[in-house]
Structure 1
Amino acid sequence: MGRAMLRWLIGGWRIVLFGMLVLSLSFSPATYQRDNRHAIAYQIVLGTTANLVWFSVLTALASLILIRIVVVTALSYGLSKYALEMVVRVLVLELIPLTAALFVALRRTLPDGVELAEMRARGELESLQRQGIDPIRREFFPRAVAGVFSVLMLAAVSCVLSLILAYLSIYGFTHWALAGYTRVVGQIFNPAVSMIFLLKTLFFSLAVSLIPMASSLYDTRSTQLHSRSKAANELAAMVRLFFVILLIEIASLMGNYY
């Protein structure tokens, strides 16, 4: 157990180091040279466009179902005036950022981490280094930036879409209730709640992006492709990612409701 705890601590420290490395690269002019700019743009477009459509459709369907359930339940208990607040708090504040982070992790960043580990095993990263190309700038940094951007974009678009669907589901196609609707939403998103919401979404995006990349950079150096130890490292990265997401969600709940 002591060795397992030590490995977890070392893994956490490596994630922090990788995050500091990505932060320093983001302020370096050499990171945005022509070839690197093309790689960053390619990864952002690749990681966002395909996921945005599917996630928006799934979020719209889930939002309509959840909104209907909340509205019908509130009406049955005579609490219809609290239906909108319940929808916004449960759906927009809590569920959408969490599902956006998990969606990007499963669809993009975890597969990217596996791909980078395979590139390392095949010697492609060392080949780039021999050509005078920094593999972290060319391969790791673009994928990390794309993961952060994807989570933020998916969460922003889905939150706006869910707010629109909530208004249409509760009030219908009329503009007369718009003033009361914006007042209720504004009361929910006070400065403290808005800051917690933004920080939670940002930390979700950082966790989803940095943990798989850091694991592929550090944890797979001494493992062989298709080996049992490599599979264990990938599983450990996934468990570490979900654990960090859970901690962030718990912290946001405590900040909002305690």
Structure 2
Amino acid sequence: MNVSHTTWGFAARLWDGAAETALAWWRSVYLGAVVLVLLLSPSSYRGQLRARMAYQLYVQTGPVLLGFTALAALLCAVITRIVIVTALSYGLSRYALEMVVRVLVLELIPLTACLFVAMRCTIPNGSQLIQMRLRGHADVLQRRGLDPVRSELLPRAVGGLFACLTLAALSCVVALVTVYLSVYGFTLAGLPAYTRLFGHVFSPVVTLVFTLKTAFFSLAVALIPLSSGWYSPLQRLRHEGRELGGLTRMFAVLLVIEILSLMGNYY
């Protein structure tokens, strides 16, 4: 009897956990759809809402541009040097430059940019939403006739999405320039060969996969932490003070996107 009761309790907990996980994933998808609809709505760009959105676009991107650019340049220079020296030691110098471009621009840079934005912007934004709900600020906005999703969540989501796309594009340019300078130096003699290599690497299929990967990376980083902070049960938040399930889902989505992009590029 005790064994049967224990088994039934374990099955019930397993079912509750699976249902909670499925609900959390559905809420993330639902929030993405809501944000998309609000982005296409002209009313989201009027008056105070436009000012709040512009503020989030600046505060999540502007202060980190210089620091992230320097970090990306340093990272690219170090990795380029390591790969080229290793390739030369094994007699594979003819493949070194292409490998550097593929590894840096196609794989590492977009992921690094999105993780940087997650740690710097979107995860703290999710924590801000949690504190806002715990203080009852969302209920106050609703009593004033304001939609908290439109006034508080949407600007943060748009700011995070813009930061991811901007830093990813900027870091790709920085990577290409850094790789060229590391290999050819301050001369234009290697520009024709480097341009041909760039065109060879970025075929139409690879370019499409790269664009889609960067876009989905940005959506995952911008939306999942906010969804976790906005929809997590208040009772749990009061007890734990934080929500780690959203971070797990975000990293899982990033991993799946990266695997799919590798399959699209190399298989």
TM-score normalised by length of structure 1: 0.96
Q: Which of 241, 250, 253 matches 1:241? A: 250
Q: Does 2:223 align with 1:210? A: yes
User: What CA deviation, in whole Å up to 9, does each residue of 1:10-43 have, x standing for no partner?
Assistant: 1111111111110111111111111000000000
| Residue aligning to 1:140 | 153
User: Cα offset for 1:222?
Assistant: 4.2
Tell whether the 8 Å contact from 2:76 to 2:104 is kept in structure 1 after alignment. yes
Percent of residue pairs identical: 52
| Residue aligning to 2:138 | 125
| Residue aligning to 1:153 | 166
Q: Does 2:60 align with 1:47? A: yes
Q: Does 2:19 align with 1:6? A: yes
User: Cα offset for 1:147?
Assistant: 0.6
- Stretches of structure 1 lacking an aligned partner (at least 5 in a row): none
Cα separation, 2, equivalents of 1:28 and 1:156 = 26
Q: Which of 107, 112, 122 matches 2:120? A: 107
User: Cα offset for 1:220?
Assistant: 3.5
Cα separation, 1, equivalents of 2:112 and 2:17 = 29
| Corresponding residue pairs, total | 254
Classify the secondary structure of the residue corresponding to 1:176.
coil
Letter in 2 for 1:100: A
Q: Which of 191, 200, 224 matches 1:187? A: 200
Q: Does 2:109 align with 1:96? A: yes
User: What CA deviation, in whole Å up to 9, does each residue of 1:212-232 have, x standing for no partner?
Assistant: 11111211444453x22x43x
TM-score normalised by length of structure 2: 0.92
Letter in 2 for 1:246: L
List, as ranges, runs of 4+ consecutive aligned residues in structure 1 with deviation greater than 3 Å.
220-225
Tell whether the 8 Å contact from 1:117 to 1:217 is kept in structure 2 after alignment. yes
Cα separation, 1, equivalents of 2:18 and 2:58 = 38
Tell whether the 8 Å contact from 2:157 to 2:226 is kept in structure 1 after alignment. yes
User: Cα offset for 1:174?
Assistant: 1.0
Q: Which of 233, 253, 263 matches 1:254? A: 263
Classify the secondary structure of the residue corresponding to 2:244.
helix
- Supply the RMSD in Å over aligned alpha carbons: 1.1
- Stretches of structure 2 lacking an aligned partner (at least 5 in a row): 1-13
| Residue aligning to 2:75 | 62
User: What CA deviation, in whole Å up to 9, does each residue of 1:64-89 have, x standing for no partner?
Assistant: 11000011111111111111101100
Letter in 2 for 1:115: Q
Classify the secondary structure of the residue corresponding to 2:146.
coil
User: Cα offset for 1:3?
Assistant: 2.1
Letter in 1 for 2:258: E
Classify the secondary structure of the residue corresponding to 2:31.
helix
User: What CA deviation, in whole Å up to 9, does each residue of 1:136-192 have, x standing for no partner?
Assistant: 111100000011110111011111011001111111111121011010011100000
Tell whether the 8 Å contact from 2:130 to 2:237 is kept in structure 1 after alignment. no
Cα separation, 2, equivalents of 1:120 and 1:75 = 57
Classify the secondary structure of the residue corresponding to 1:244.
helix
Tell whether the 8 Å contact from 1:125 to 1:135 is kept in structure 2 after alignment. yes
For structure 1, which segment, 144-153 or 74-83, has the greater mean C-alpha deviation from structure 2 after superposition? Answer: 74-83
| Residue aligning to 2:9 | none
